[in-house]
Structure 1
Amino acid sequence: MSAAAFALPSALEAREPPEARGIARDAVRLMVAARSDGTLAHRRFTDLPDVLGPGDVLVVNTSATLPAAVDAHRPGGAAVQVRFATAAPHLPPPWWVVEVRTAGGAARLRSVRASERLALPGGASAELVAPYASGSRLWLARLDLGTEAGGGLPAYLARHGAPIRYPYVPRAWPLSDYQTAFATDPGSAEMPSAGRPFTPELIARLVARGVRFAPVTLHTGVSSPERHEPPYLEAYAVGAAAARLVNAARGWGGRIVAVGTTAVRALETVAAPDGTVVQGAGWTGLVLGRERGLRAVDGLITGWHEPHATHLQLLEAVAGAALLDASYRAALERGYLWHEFGDSHLVLP
Structure 2
Amino acid sequence: MKTNDFDYNLPEELIAQTPLEVRSNSKLLVVNKNNIDLKHDTFNNIIDYLNEGDVLVLNNTKVIPARLYGVKEDTKANIEILLLNQFSTNAWEALVKPARRVKLGTSISFGNGLLKVVCTEVLDEGIRHFDLIYDGDLEEILDQLGEMPLPPYIHQKLDNQSRYQTVYSKITGSAASPTAGLHFTKELLNNIREKGIIIQYVTLHVGLGTFRPVKVDDVKKHKMHSEFYMMDEKTANILNGAKEEGRNIVAVGTTSVRTLETVMNKYNEFREASGFTDIFIYPGYEFKAVDTLITNFHLPKSTLLMLVSAFSSKEIIMNAYHEAIKQKYRFFSFGDSMIIKNQ
Do the aligned partners of residues 114 and 271 (structure 1) sit closer, same or farther apart at CA in structure 2, a change above 3 Å counting? same
- Could you tell me how far 1:291 is from its partner in structure 2? 5.1
What does residue 110 of structure 2 align with?
120
Distance 2:266 2:319 in 1: 29
What does residue 106 of structure 1 align with?
none
Aligned sequence identity (%): 28
Distance 1:291 1:114 in 2: 41
- Could you tell me how far 1:272 is from its partner in structure 2? 4.3
- Could you tell me how far 1:203 is from its partner in structure 2? 0.8
1:143-222 alignment to 2 at 5 Å? 143-145=132-134, 148=135, 150-151=136-137, 153-165=138-150, 166-222=152-208
Output the TM-score relative to the length of structure 1.
0.87
CA deviation profile, 1:61-80 (whole Å, cap 9, x unmatched): 11111111112123432333
Partner residue of 1:324 out of 308, 311, 317: 317
Instruction: Determine if contact 1:231/1:287 at 8 Å carries over to the other structure.
Output: yes
Distance 2:259 2:210 in 1: 20
What does residue 218 of structure 2 align with?
none
Instruction: Give the 3-state SS of the residue equivalent to 1:331 in structure 2.
Output: helix
- Could you tell me how far 1:312 is from its partner in structure 2? 1.7
Distance 1:34 1:64 in 2: 31
Output the TM-score relative to the length of structure 2.
0.89
For structure 2, the residue ranges without an aligned partner over 5 or more in a row are: 215-221
- Could you tell me how far 1:339 is from its partner in structure 2? 2.0
Select between 51-60 and 158-167 the one with higher mean Cα deviation: 158-167
Verify: 1:82 aligned to 2:81, yes or no.
Answer: yes
Question: How large is the Cα RMSD of the aligned pairs?
Answer: 2.2
Partner residue of 1:342 out of 313, 331, 335: 335
For structure 1, the residue ranges without an aligned partner over 5 or more in a row are: 102-108
Partner residue of 2:100 out of 106, 111, 121: 111
Instruction: Give the 3-state SS of the residue equivalent to 1:111 in structure 2.
Output: helix
Letter in 2 for 1:183: S
Instruction: Determine if contact 1:288/1:294 at 8 Å carries over to the other structure.
Output: no
Do the aligned partners of residues 174 and 100 (structure 1) sit closer, same or farther apart at CA in structure 2, a change above 3 Å counting? farther
CA deviation profile, 1:258-283 (whole Å, cap 9, x unmatched): 10111111111110489632221122
1:252-263 alignment to 2 at 5 Å? 252-263=245-256
CA deviation profile, 1:169-213 (whole Å, cap 9, x unmatched): 321333211111221111111111110110011111111222111
Letter in 2 for 1:256: I
Do the aligned partners of residues 57 and 231 (structure 1) sit closer, same or farther apart at CA in structure 2, a change above 3 Å counting? same
Do the aligned partners of residues 232 and 173 (structure 1) sit closer, same or farther apart at CA in structure 2, a change above 3 Å counting? farther
What does residue 6 of structure 2 align with?
4
Partner residue of 2:15 out of 13, 29, 36: 13
What does residue 50 of structure 2 align with?
52
What does residue 294 of structure 1 align with?
287
Do the aligned partners of residues 226 and 204 (structure 1) sit closer, same or farther apart at CA in structure 2, a change above 3 Å counting? closer
Select between 2-11 and 246-255 the one with higher mean Cα deviation: 2-11
Instruction: Determine if contact 2:36/2:320 at 8 Å carries over to the other structure.
Output: no
- Could you tell me how far 1:223 is from its partner in structure 2? 5.2
CA deviation profile, 1:194-238 (whole Å, cap 9, x unmatched): 101100111111112221112111111145556346432211111
Do the aligned partners of residues 40 and 137 (structure 1) sit closer, same or farther apart at CA in structure 2, a change above 3 Å counting? farther
Do the aligned partners of residues 3 and 61 (structure 1) sit closer, same or farther apart at CA in structure 2, a change above 3 Å counting? farther
Verify: 1:42 aligned to 2:27, yes or no.
Answer: no
Instruction: Determine if contact 1:239/1:280 at 8 Å carries over to the other structure.
Output: yes
Instruction: Determine if contact 2:34/2:312 at 8 Å carries over to the other structure.
Output: no
Instruction: Determine if contact 1:60/1:213 at 8 Å carries over to the other structure.
Output: yes
Do the aligned partners of residues 199 and 281 (structure 1) sit closer, same or farther apart at CA in structure 2, a change above 3 Å counting? same
Instruction: Determine if contact 1:100/1:138 at 8 Å carries over to the other structure.
Output: yes
Distance 1:273 1:185 in 2: 23
CA deviation profile, 1:127-167 (whole Å, cap 9, x unmatched): 233344xx31322222222xx3x22x323212211211235
Instruction: Determine if contact 1:218/1:237 at 8 Å carries over to the other structure.
Output: yes
Instruction: Determine if contact 1:190/1:222 at 8 Å carries over to the other structure.
Output: no
Instruction: Determine if contact 1:304/1:344 at 8 Å carries over to the other structure.
Output: yes
Select between 169-178 and 205-214 the one with higher mean Cα deviation: 169-178
Do the aligned partners of residues 273 and 113 (structure 1) sit closer, same or farther apart at CA in structure 2, a change above 3 Å counting? closer
